[in-house]
Amino acid sequence: MISAVLIILAACDKEDKGFVPPVKKVLKVVTLPPSDITENSVTLNGELLSLGETELDSVRFSYWEQGNMGTRVSVKADVSEGGKFSKTLTELKSFKDYAYSATAVDQEGHVESDIYSFSTLISAGIGKPEIETTKFDSLTFNAASVFGKLINDGNSENTRVSIVYWKQGFPNLQEYANVEMKEDGTFHGKLKGLLPAQAYEFNCVAQNELEIAQGEPQSFTTTSTIYVDVTAPAGGNGSSWEKALTSVNDAMEIAEENVDVWVAAKGVYFNRNIRLKKNIDLYGGFEGTESSLNERKPNLRTVLDGTHENPNVNNNNNQIMNMWASKREDKCVVDGFVLQNGTGQRAGALFLGKGSPEFKNVVFQNNLGKWGSCVHMYHNDAKFIDCVFKDNISEMGAVHSGKSVTMNTIFQKCHFLRNEATIRGGALFIKGNIVVRSCIFEDNIGKNSAAAIFISGSGPRYEGNNVLKGNNVSGDGSMCAGSNTYCPEDW
């Protein structure tokens, strides 16, 4: 009775698994050409060649995308009485090359067929997409926004859209930008890392499994200027006077080499600790409509004020500007500004570390600093041309050098007026060598010595027509003092 039950259970088990009656031993499995190929389906075919009596466990197909065995999938096939077997696959990728093989397994092992290949069809009704390049916007010195529209996708869900761009004259050096697509087909992409003052060409491209479509190529030139206007509306990106930034600090933060920063002479900029950088020139004195430096009015200057706009904030350390270059020869230009009401332990207005900055047409006024009311510098080759230093107070010099300053540090056509030093050097206190060329020292005060100039070093080099007048010193002090320092007799 028990044996009969086991036989019945075994029979049921074989029936549930799709039991196959015994056949001859498999000698060979062959793959036959596939049939019913569409864009996403196919029927795989094969045949068993056999000899001997054995029980066949299974026949399976394995298929994969050609060149990518990681996509391999195994499926069980249905075997007919004549040894033919097949399996219909769905959800394949259209316009894709596939390969497949068959494997038969019996009680003595398995036998594999050769590999056969096929390609799915292109999606029914697929055509060439249509795309247009509409515009570019938000142009700055290193970025641009490009806009376009996908008019139709060629009846393909796999249409890809991208923006291709290249430096003008170098179409073989193309780069690509991703896009953000909206439901209505419009899209935009951001081109970043561009070079300033560089001409670029770009286009919008759509591609499906069969076709590529392009819009009309367009071109633009990145700017070489960042615009700043304290009266401009918020939210500007600095790409024009109309879209100006409102802070000099913000402009210098994003500026890169070989870019100019233009600052309108409107209102007062309460900006402190403005960091000067290599090969970034800072120009003031604009009305806010100019398109070239030559359009500036010579006597119009932009005012940078070290006073904190919040009266409750301590104003004892509000230095306006500084430069910490990595190399002594690193250059920049500051032209057309007033630096006023700065305060600092060293300089009130300007601290210079390494570098070779050039200051032109700059007024330093009403600044307060312990070592250099206006400027404290060391290890640099600064030049001050057509600058005015007036009404500044310090312990030592409107301009102070704490360490060696080379002969390349030049004061040319500068006017030192009503500056006061509580110890010495009303106008200049320099430890090193400088060039003084056609400058005026007027009504400066040095409480203990050197009403105008105190220099310790090998001495200054005087050139041109320098003028000393009305300078004051307490006691027996002189107009000029220090080691090897003298005032020419014709002053």
pLDDT at 19: 47
Cα–Cα separations (whole angstroms), residue 287 to 230, 264, 298, 339, 467: 12, 6, 12, 18, 34
Average pLDDT of the segment spanning 268-287: 93
Q: Where are the beta strands (DSSP E) in 23-83?
A: 26-35, 42-50, 56-65, 68-76, 78-79
* Span 345-366, average pLDDT: 87
Q: Do domains 130-221 and 225-481 have the same CATH topology?
A: no
Task: Quote the percentage of the chain above a pLDDT of 90.
Answer: 42
Q: Collapse the DSSP code of 9 into the 3-class scheme (helix H, G, I; strand E, B; otherwise coil) and give the result.
A: helix
- To which CATH superfamily is domain 130-221 assigned? Immunoglobulins (2.60.40.10)
Q: What is the pLDDT of residue 380?
A: 77
Average pLDDT over every residue of 259-276: 93
Q: Which H or E run includes 250?
A: helix 248-254
Alpha-carbon distance of 264 to 232, in angstroms, equals 10
pTM score above 0.75: no
Per-residue pLDDT tens for 406-454?
557 899 999 999 988 877 777 787 777 788 999 999 988 877 766 567 7
Q: How confident is the model at residue 321 (pLDDT cuts 50, 70, 90)?
A: confident
The pLDDT, as a whole number, for residue 29 is: 86
pLDDT band at 4 (very low <50, low <70, confident <90, very high): very low
d(CA 253, CA 159): 40
How far is CA 36 from each of CA 41, 50, 89, 156, 308, rounded to the nearest angstrom? 8, 27, 10, 22, 80
User: Any idea which of 129-138, 197-206, 400-409 has the lowest mean pLDDT?
Assistant: 400-409
Q: Give the rounded percent of residues in the chain with a pLDDT score beyond 70.
A: 82
Helix, coil or strand: residue 166:
strand
pLDDT at 138: 85
Q: What is the pLDDT of residues 46-104, one digit of tens each?
A: 988 865 565 666 789 999 999 899 999 999 998 887 788 899 999 898 778 899 999 98
In the Cβ-directed half-sphere of 341, how many Cα atoms lie within 13 Å? 13
Distance between CA atoms of residues 236 and 230, nearest Å: 11
Strands (E), 225-330: 225-228, 259-264, 268-269, 274-276, 280-286, 302-305, 321-323
Q: Distances from the Cα of 193 to the Cαs of 24, 190, 257, 342, in angstroms?
A: 70, 10, 13, 36
**Rg, Å, the chain Cα set:** 41
pLDDT of 199 strictly over 60: yes
**Closest to 405 (Cα-Cα) out of 385, 433, 384, 427:** 433
Q: In what order do the strands lie in the sheet containing 274-276?
A: 274-276, 321-323, 350-352, 375-377, 399-401, 428-431, 453-456, 480-481
Write the pLDDT tens digit of every residue in 129-150: 999 999 888 889 999 999 999 9
- Identify the DSSP state of 452: S
pLDDT of residue 156: 84
* 184-193, 220-229, 263-272, 339-348: least confident range: 339-348
DSSP 10: H
Alpha carbons 183 and 112: distance in angstroms, whole number: 49
Confidence of residue 176 (pLDDT cuts 50, 70, 90): very high
Joined together, the tokens standing for residue 131 give 């795309």
What is the DSSP pairing of strand 212-214 with strand 199-207?
A: antiparallel
CATH class name, domain 18-119: mainly beta
Domain 225-481, architecture per CATH: 3 Solenoid (2.160)
| Domain ranges, ordered by start, for the chain | 18-119, 130-221, 225-481
Q: Can you tell me which residue has the tokens 């024009």?
A: 240
